[in-house]
Chains A and B, each alone.
Chain A
Amino acid sequence: MRADYDSSANAISIAIGDTPHAEGSDEVHPRAIVALAAGKPVEVQLLYPDMGTAEPLAAVACRYELDLEALQAAAQSALAAPDRVVSVELAARSTT
């Protein structure tokens, strides 16, 4: 999962897959837009993350059954390193 926070636009993009193009989108929240390819999410666009990331990302995760913790980790990583692409890899939760 790759994320990029553009500080001048005040927007985060979180790439979910490697699909280069999308043919539509779904505004699941006033500040969260999901890009769709063949009906599947390929990118999450989060506007104005300074207004909070939890609510819009929760809406995205709920609608498309995505890993909310992974989305939050990607968004926070992008905010921690503005204007740089960050890659986030999450392993399965340890049970031991």
Chain B
Amino acid sequence: MPKRRLPEPKGARWEWDQRQQGRRRISDASRVGGSLERAVWRGGFIRTWLPFGDEDRAFAAGRANIDGSMRLSRHAKNETRLYRISVDDIERTVASPARRDLDERGNARLTGETGDGRPILVVVAGDDPGFVITVFLRS
């Protein structure tokens, strides 16, 4: 894949727009079962030169399964059995969460739904976007 050269910074608003575009392209790629590389190939700016802050870490957590590296902790596996949540439910939520927040440790809290419409929350490590810490049903 040819390397794409990023343009020089053009101000905070421009950077924000670029990041939003990148998110939309990643989201589109995940919806159609595409890859992160395909999103890049289509011209999305996946990373910027901004510091790797909280918002970026949550965003990174949201694309955990696009590169196929999602891993569940033993604790999370136990919770999937308790709540009858499938790995597909978790992957779907991580790929396309309805909402993203950060907890007090800086880990991403991703809200989604199971295949049968039950609301779930997936906690993904902020420093390891492929690592699912826990998951549970929300009442």
Contacts and interface: CB of A to CB of B under 8 A. Distances in A.
Interface residues of B, number: 20
Interface of A: 4, 6, 8-11, 13, 20-27, 30-31, 33, 35-36, 42-43, 45, 47-48, 51, 83
Contacts of A22: 82-83, 137
Interface stretch (B42-50, B72-80, B90-98): B72-80
By secondary structure, the B interface counts as mixed
Contact of B133 (A11, A13, A43): A11
B74 to A, nearest CB: 5
Contacts of A45: 75, 79, 134, 136
A22 B78 CA distance: 12
Contacts of B84: 21
B138 interface: yes
Q: What 3 pairs across the A-B complex have the smallest Cβ distances?
A: A24-B139, A9-B73, A6-B75
A9 B80 CA distance: 14
B123 A13 contact: no
B4 interface: no
Interface in B123-139: 123, 133-134, 136-139
Contacts of B139: 24-26, 36
A21 B82 contact: yes
A35 to B, nearest CB: 6
B135 to A, nearest CB: 10
Contacts of A26: 139
A55 to B, nearest CB: 12
Nearest to A27: B138
Given A6-B74, A30-B104, A47-B103, 14 more contacts: A8-B74, A9-B73, A9-B74, A13-B78, A21-B84, A25-B136, A26-B139, A30-B103, A35-B137, A42-B82, A45-B75, A47-B123, A48-B104, A48-B105
B75 A20 contact: no
B105 to A, nearest CB: 6
Given A25-B137, A45-B136, A13 B73 contact: no
